[in-house]
Amino acid sequence: NAGVTQTPKFQVLKTGQSMTLQCAQDMNHEYMSWYRQDPGMGLRLIHYSVGAGITDQGEVPNGYNVSRSTTEDFPLRLLSAAPSQTSVYFCASSPLSGMSNQPQHFGDGTRLSIL
């Protein structure tokens, strides 16, 4: 049972380049989300999804796109990378049950640097 798998672990990009951060979970969780973590600012929600075919914006969605074609995968796309997107990115997943969220399982993170 791999849990939440993020690839790559590290990436350096030049301003204006595009790339996709991959996230996959094997726990059949409905809820998946992407956070960015910057010093002193905690974990800020970028986008989230409550199931295949459903996505929604979080606190800081600008500059990022997501899609959820399957339950397992939730890729995050940077269309034109900017230095302000230098950060550590975490993907997380959790089941949805009843009227309340459940604990999230986090991936190991992707450290992204934009030059």
Partner 1 sequence: GENVEQHPSTLSVQEGDSAVIKCTYSDSASNYFPWYKQELGKRPQLIIDIRSNVGEKKDQRIAVTLNKTAKHFSLHITETQPEDSAVYFCAASKGYSSASKIIFGSGTRLSIRP
Binding site for partner 1 (CB under 8 A): 31, 33, 35, 40-45, 48, 50, 54, 56, 58-59, 90, 96, 98-101, 103-104, 106-109
Shortest CA distance to 84 belongs to which of 57, 67, 106, 62? 62
Closest approach of partner 1 to the CB of residue 115, in Å: 22
56 bridge partner residues: 48
Cα within 13 Å of Cα(15), Cβ side: 4
Which CB sits closer to partner 1, 2 or 14?
A: 2
Which CB sits closer to partner 1, 14 or 100?
A: 100
User: What DSSP character marks residue 2?
Assistant: -
Which CB sits closer to partner 1, 19 or 44?
A: 44
Closest approach of partner 1 to the CB of residue 37, in Å: 9
Which CB sits closer to partner 1, 44 or 75?
A: 44
73 bridge partner residues: 24
Radius of gyration of the chain (CA): 13
